[in-house]
Amino acid sequence: MEEIEWPEGWRPIGGGDTGTLFEGELYRELCAAHALYGLRVSTLGRRDDCDDFLFLLDDGRVVEVHLTWQQEDTSEWPKAQIYRDLDEWRGLGS
């Protein structure tokens, strides 16, 4: 994994217990109709001013997710935006 240049307001979250906590929360919130349901993620970072998190998918894509801290029953929540890679997420993609 490349070294990430974090935009202002974002910070890294390493693996271990903290990363596992946020991954578990994401899995808990997802209903079976959600686009992320059944996909494996790894926590990369979080935004300081809200509950937005960046996760890495197994295929190299990244997803920015707004966690709600409750189990959801609709595919609309938690809000998620999938990007093809880190450059696209940072707005550097072509």
**Domain for residue 36, yes or no?**
yes
pLDDT band per the 50, 70, 90 thresholds, residue 94: very low
Helix (H) or strand (E) holding 87: helix 86-89
Can you tell me the distance from the alpha carbon of 28 to that of 42, in angstroms, rounded to the nearest whole number?
Answer: 15
**How does pLDDT run across 40-73, given as a tens digit for each residue?**
999 999 999 999 999 999 999 999 999 999 999 9
Helix (H) or strand (E) holding 8: none
Q: Is the pLDDT of residue 2 over 70?
A: no
Encoded tokens for 83 = 């990007």
**Domain region containing 30:** 10-89
**Domain for residue 2, yes or no?**
no
**Domain for residue 74, yes or no?**
yes
Q: How many domains does the chain have?
A: 1
**Domain for residue 5, yes or no?**
no
Q: What is the pLDDT of residue 93?
A: 56
Q: Is the pLDDT of residue 1 over 70?
A: no
**Domain for residue 3, yes or no?**
no
Encoded tokens for 19 = 């990363």
Mean pLDDT of the chain: 91
**How does pLDDT run across 26-38, given as a tens digit for each residue?**
999 999 999 999 9
